Chain A
Amino acid sequence: MVEHDFIIIGSGIGGLMTAAALSRDGKKVLVLEQLAFTGGRYTEIPYKGYEVTSGAWTSMGIKSHIGRFCEEVGAKVDYITLRDKGEKHSPASLFKVKFNNQQEIDFFRPLPGTGIDNESYFQVLMNILAKQTEITPETSAREVIEAVTKDETIHSILNHMIGTASGLTIDTLPASELKTVIGDVLKTGGKFGFAVGGTKNIIQALERVILAHGGAIRTCVGVKSLIIEDNIAKGVELESGNNLYAKNIIHNGGAHQLVKLAKSKNLPNAYVKYINHLKPVECAAIILGLDRPVTSGCAITIPPDAERAAGIFPPTFFDPGVAPPGKHMIDVFIPLQSHNIKKEMDLAWNDLYALFPQLDSIINMKMEMVFYKDWPGAESAQTFGQIGDQRLDPLSPVDNLYLVGMDCKGSGVAGDLVPVTAHLCLTRIKEKYKELKVPSITF
């Protein structure tokens, strides 16, 4: 019996955004999540009094793609912004650069010794955005950056910024994606923000929209396979052995899981081959609880001397409530360059001790997280052959089966790509259900 208009497999932010928009428009949705918690890599798990991220740092606030999508579907989220932190933090403190010699330079100050008179890091980014060189999908970020400046310190700063935003490097991130990343980050300006309580409050806001409109969300429910007959998706077979039927299925469980659930024989060979050859983002994080703050008055610290630590984010700078009273937290993002995890993490720890020599005496909570194998940072890195329209269309080769999430068409800063894919997914669904509104935002 068909009980649902849509079954959504996976409660990552893409699944929940799509489900919220469909619920709001009167569709009966059921979200299935195999884990005990919703939100995937976009939430926090409580640990020793801290709200430890499952992956994402922040949505970047109300002006991000995620912020605007949530507002459009009525998911109310409170943010603490750079502007809320006081005028001196807005927006010059979006980034600070910190060298191992302890020198710190903020966003709007000239970079000393770089040979570029009176040009700040901010101005260099603006010059990259304005650079009118011919860009093809094969042009690397390095090519555009080198056309603006030959300075190696700035190359290193940008390499770390790119690592922070995408898990890639100036050689593996295409130039077109670099321009999107810079543009999207700068657009947030002084409104760059952090959801009060953490990213899980964005997840909870979306869930409230789904539940308020009669939708349902079930955790600890694994899907074993998709029921596909004559190239039409009819429902799902659960790990428990039960079957659930729906008019449409939306998959938010990642490209490789899609092949596993749909089975290769039900998908075109070229489609399966594309998915099997996807280059993932393999990364790690070090989350630290501290007795006192180590970064000063900024959203993201970029350490150009570091070998592995790409960027450092202090959630407690925005919201002290995500740590025990009087304590502080930093999230350190580490793009992996090999599968020798011990070596990679040792290099990252060396970076941290060089940047913060007093670190050992103030750590009260330590959590290392590695994201690779079946749970990478993202299955589809935003690298050559995998950007923009080269990614998967939300309209799958199987009728009534749609996709949403980091593998789908679009560009954006890390998770902020996801609402672009949710918007396109809803646009594809609207071709069948004309009454759907689809968020009116553009990206």
Chain B
Amino acid sequence: MIAIDREKCCGCNYCAIMCAQEALFYQDYDMELDQNKCELCGACVYYCPSGAIQMIRSD
């Protein structure tokens, strides 16, 4: 699954801009992820300049 560290997130929104599924969005100035829309492509991890997004195994 995708995990967001809100302490690290600066709110640049690069991840939301590039997410093809529109699963990431900046709501009330906190980054939120719609797990139902997310297809776990992992691209957001490589669009985050502050290292706030990680792909982690959920098992």
A375 near B47 (CB under 8 angstroms)? Answer: no
From A15-23, A70-78, A366-374, the one touching the partner chain is A366-374
Assess whether A36 is in contact with B12, with CB atoms less than 8 Å apart: no
Q: Enumerate chain A residues within 8 angstroms of B10, measured Cβ to Cβ.
A: 370-376
Q: Is the CB of B29 within 8 A of A45?
A: no
B47 touches A368 (CB 8 A): no
The B contact surface, by secondary structure, is loop
The answer to whether A374 touches B51, judged by C-beta atoms less than 8 angstroms apart, is yes
Distance between Cα atoms of A374 and B26 in the complex (Å)? 18
Contact B11 A37 (CB under 8 A): no
Asked whether A2 is an interface residue with its Cβ less than 8 Å from the other chain, the reply is no
Is B49 a contact of A374 with CB atoms below 8 Å?
yes
Interface centre among B13, B43, B48, B51 (most CB of A within 10 A): B13
Q: Does A35 contact B (CB under 8 A)?
A: yes
Least distance between A346 CB and chain B CB atoms (Å): 10
Q: Which of A14-53 contact B (CB under 8 A)?
A: 34-37, 40, 45, 47, 52
Query: Which B residues touch A135, using CB under 8 A?
Result: none
Q: B37 interface residue, CB < 8 Å from A? A: no
Which of A342, A372, A375 meets B28, CB within 8 Å?
A: A342
Give, as a whole number of angstroms, the nearest-CB distance from A375 to chain B: 4
- How far, in angstroms, from A387 to B10 measured CA to CA in the complex? 25
B34 to chain A, nearest CB (A): 17
* A370 CA to B28 CA, complexed, in Å: 13
B43 to chain A, nearest CB (A): 6
B: number of interface residues (CB 8 Å): 20
Assembled-state Cα–Cα distance A56/B47 (Å): 17
B12 & A35 in contact (Cβ 8 Å cutoff): no
Interface residue A345 (Cβ < 8 Å from any Cβ of B): yes
Q: In the complex, A423→B30 CA distance in Å? A: 39
A35 to B17: give the CA distance in the assembly, Å: 14
The residues in A between 49 and 93 inclusive whose CB is less than 8 angstroms from any CB of B are 52, 54
| Shortest distance from the beta carbon of A138 to any chain B beta carbon, whole Å | 31
CB distance from A388 to the nearest CB of B (A): 27
The reply to whether the CB of A341 lies closer than 8 angstroms to some CB of chain B is yes
Which residues of B have CB within 8 Å of A36?
18, 43, 46-47
Q: Which of A45, A369, A373 contacts B8 (CB 8 A)?
A: A373
**New contact pairs (15) apart from A367-B13, A367-B16, A372-B10, CB-CB < 8 Å:** A34-B46, A36-B47, A45-B17, A45-B47, A47-B17, A341-B11, A368-B26, A369-B12, A369-B13, A370-B11, A370-B12, A370-B13, A372-B11, A374-B49, A375-B10
Task: List 16 A-B pairs, Cβ < 8 Å.
Answer: A34-B46, A36-B43, A36-B47, A45-B47, A52-B17, A220-B46, A367-B13, A368-B13, A369-B13, A370-B29, A371-B10, A371-B12, A373-B8, A374-B8, A374-B10, A375-B49
List of 5 A-B pairs having minimum Cβ-Cβ separation, nearest first? A370-B11, A36-B46, A374-B50, A373-B10, A341-B29
